[in-house]
Chains A and B, each alone.
Chain A
């Protein structure tokens, strides 16, 4: 009865937020429904035949979206928290919006749940997942989570109590993630990219490449569009073209593919469906006049710069937006750990003297970072208001515009693009 009331309350809030357009409805319905029925997530989710949990600092949303894409290509009905609301309330909100009030037995075959680093420990037991994927651990919003060492220690504790038959997938190139294999009762499977390691926060350096079960070899990056590589699983090899740029997306693919295998999906079906895959909301987005790349922490942002720097032409422009809201992380120190120098050092950018527009609540911090990365102050335009900043950046644009926003700037940007009629839908998710 409590569950019924909680779901009803959640659905009402969801209806109201949508009706009055006061948000995406991805957190509030769950938040209040959980207050009424704290066990809502386990009560509803156990009606879903299989559940998968994906955690890590970077790539959760893209991995979850890709796995959902594979599942659909394999004929499964998927429920997932696709809005990137990856705390318990986000999952509760998703369940509330999809659940049939009179019959909580959901008509879904698979639940794909992305959980943030801290929520993993409390929410995973409630979801009782068949498979778990650990992507990576980087410095993210340390003001919220505390230190990486303590995040990993808590993960180790949680992993110890997992049933041994859980399908357990780890990024073998990230020392902090890879060592979770020791805490796990069953056998972990690892994925990795040849000649590539992640030095997120590792105090002990990885001395040599680990043997991994799913490996991407002979990687060839193709600019802003795609990458090609050979996927090697034991003695099997597959030639893959991934329609996403950068090394970091190869990890997301490997994780999604490995999880797909554990669910019995056919490699041919998964890989065949890749050509129709479009990246997750705002992570990497192709616009008519340029690109949006979400930046949210040093590792992710540096990867974005590594990917775009060689592609920036002299007539292209950059718009960077830094907010310090809770969802962005209130500490902006992280921008000093990002390799902004890459913009200046890219071979094509050498002949460039155009303006970089910086925006957001901490736009001056960003401008300063650029100055200390070697960019001349007269190349930098500071415009705190994002709408005006976008206008400045687009005015007389001859090349492409690369927009790099933090999370809440990205949300604001999407809404501006919609209102200005530059993009049709604020929230276009096919699932």
Chain B
């Protein structure tokens, strides 16, 4: 089997170990004999669609610094990328967006000064600049069990009515430090604030993304071969115990 991972703006949005998530996806696929190609999709590039080239089977979108985030927001707005990503997510393609990437896939980001940065409206959520940075370890309860990561954001994200959080905060701030929600989930797309890196220590989530990607690509149920995750779960449990 083969998989193509689309690393959205990987050259600009790759802060706080985001690359670790790509490493985890790649390795866990390779250990099962699945061939992986990682495609960086940046400013000026086009996302391959069914009529041109190989389609993207799984998206990853990391966080970036303010300046990078502005250029990326502009590019998402003027290029066709936003439209293609949304179409792909509608057909079930999994996506993981963290921090800046998560914010840009919402409805908008409102900075302290200046104009709103428009998002592509994939997640029914919006983000408002906050005064205080929300920094620290975070543990949430989710459909993948407990997940652990590290958050570092000043933007406060609010979910719109009827939208689903990725999980509920056990310790940490989460979306906005108030309503105990963390992240957002829409179809097979997940947005959240968890670095850490997130995927290596939370292999259930990683495998879920891979499984969904293969199922959409090959149009059948996929059961991933189990791996020896002793180290992964030790790392996860040690961190969860330490912080919650």
Q: Which residues of A contact B (CB under 8 A)?
A: 139, 142-143, 146-150, 201, 203, 330-337, 361-362, 364-365, 367-369, 371-372, 377, 380, 382
For B230, what are the chain A residues with a Cβ–Cβ distance below 8 Å?
A: 377
Output the residue of B17, B27, B66, B234 with the most chain A CB within 10 A: B17
CA distance A142 to B65 in the complex (A): 11
CA distance A322 to B200 in the complex (A): 17
For A331, what are the chain B residues with a Cβ–Cβ distance below 8 Å?
A: 16, 135, 150, 152, 195-196
CA distance A362 to B243 in the complex (A): 12
| CB nearest to B233 among chain A residues | A364
In contact, A336 and B17 (Cβ under 8 angstroms): yes
| CB nearest to A335 among chain B residues | B17
For A332, what are the chain B residues with a Cβ–Cβ distance below 8 Å?
A: 150, 196
CA distance A333 to B21 in the complex (A): 10
In contact, A147 and B19 (Cβ under 8 angstroms): no
For A368, what are the chain B residues with a Cβ–Cβ distance below 8 Å?
A: 200-201, 231-232, 235
In contact, A143 and B238 (Cβ under 8 angstroms): no
In contact, B66 and A149 (Cβ under 8 angstroms): yes
Nearest 4 A/B pairs, CB to CB: A336-B20, A333-B17, A336-B17, A364-B235
For A148, what are the chain B residues with a Cβ–Cβ distance below 8 Å?
A: 65
In contact, A201 and B65 (Cβ under 8 angstroms): yes
For B27, what are the chain A residues with a Cβ–Cβ distance below 8 Å?
A: 372
In contact, A203 and B235 (Cβ under 8 angstroms): no
Please provide the chain B residues from 217 to 234 with a CB less than 8 Å away from any CB of chain A in the complex. 228, 230-232, 234
Cβ contacts A to B, 19 pairs, < 8 Å: A139-B15, A143-B135, A149-B66, A330-B137, A331-B195, A332-B196, A333-B16, A333-B195, A336-B17, A337-B19, A361-B242, A364-B231, A364-B234, A365-B239, A371-B231, A372-B23, A372-B27, A377-B228, A380-B231
Whole-angstrom distance from the CB of B101 to the nearest CB of chain A? Answer: 15
For A335, what are the chain B residues with a Cβ–Cβ distance below 8 Å?
A: 17, 20
For B68, what are the chain A residues with a Cβ–Cβ distance below 8 Å?
A: 203
Q: Does B197 contact A (CB under 8 A)?
A: yes
CA distance A331 to B239 in the complex (A): 12
Q: Does B160 contact A (CB under 8 A)?
A: no
Question: What mask results when residues 128 to 165 of chain B are scored 1 for a CB within 8 Å of chain A, else 0?
Answer: 00000101110000000000001010000000000000
Whole-angstrom distance from the CB of B121 to the nearest CB of chain A? Answer: 26
Question: What mask results when residues 15 to 59 of chain B are scored 1 for a CB within 8 Å of chain A, else 0?
Answer: 111111001100100000000000000000000000000000000
| CB nearest to B151 among chain A residues | A331
Beyond the given A333-B16, A364-B231, A368-B232, please list 19 additional residue pairs across the A-B interface where CB-CB is below 8 A: A146-B133, A147-B65, A150-B65, A333-B197, A336-B17, A336-B18, A336-B23, A337-B17, A337-B20, A362-B239, A364-B235, A364-B238, A365-B235, A365-B239, A367-B231, A369-B20, A369-B200, A377-B228, A377-B231
Output the residue of B12, B68, B195, B231 with the most chain A CB within 10 A: B231
- Indicate which residue in B66, B197, B239 contacts A336 across the interface (CB closer than 8 Å): B197
Whole-angstrom distance from the CB of A91 to the nearest CB of chain B? Answer: 26
| CB nearest to B149 among chain A residues | A333
Knowing A331-B16, A333-B17, A333-B20 touch, does A365 contact B201 (C-beta < 8 A)? yes
In contact, A143 and B152 (Cβ under 8 angstroms): yes
For A364, what are the chain B residues with a Cβ–Cβ distance below 8 Å?
A: 231, 234-235, 238-239
In contact, A334 and B65 (Cβ under 8 angstroms): no
Knowing A147-B66, A365-B201, A368-B200 touch, does A334 contact B234 (C-beta < 8 A)? no
Whole-angstrom distance from the CB of B15 to the nearest CB of chain A? Answer: 7
| CB nearest to A340 among chain B residues | B23
| CB nearest to B21 among chain A residues | A336
Q: Does B67 contact A (CB under 8 A)?
A: yes
CA distance A139 to B200 in the complex (A): 21
Whole-angstrom distance from the CB of B123 to the nearest CB of chain A? Answer: 23
For B65, what are the chain A residues with a Cβ–Cβ distance below 8 Å?
A: 147-150, 201, 203
CA distance A382 to B238 in the complex (A): 12
For A377, what are the chain B residues with a Cβ–Cβ distance below 8 Å?
A: 228, 230-231
Whole-angstrom distance from the CB of A345 to the nearest CB of chain B? Answer: 14
CA distance A336 to B27 in the complex (A): 13
For B136, what are the chain A residues with a Cβ–Cβ distance below 8 Å?
A: 143, 330
In contact, A367 and B19 (Cβ under 8 angstroms): no
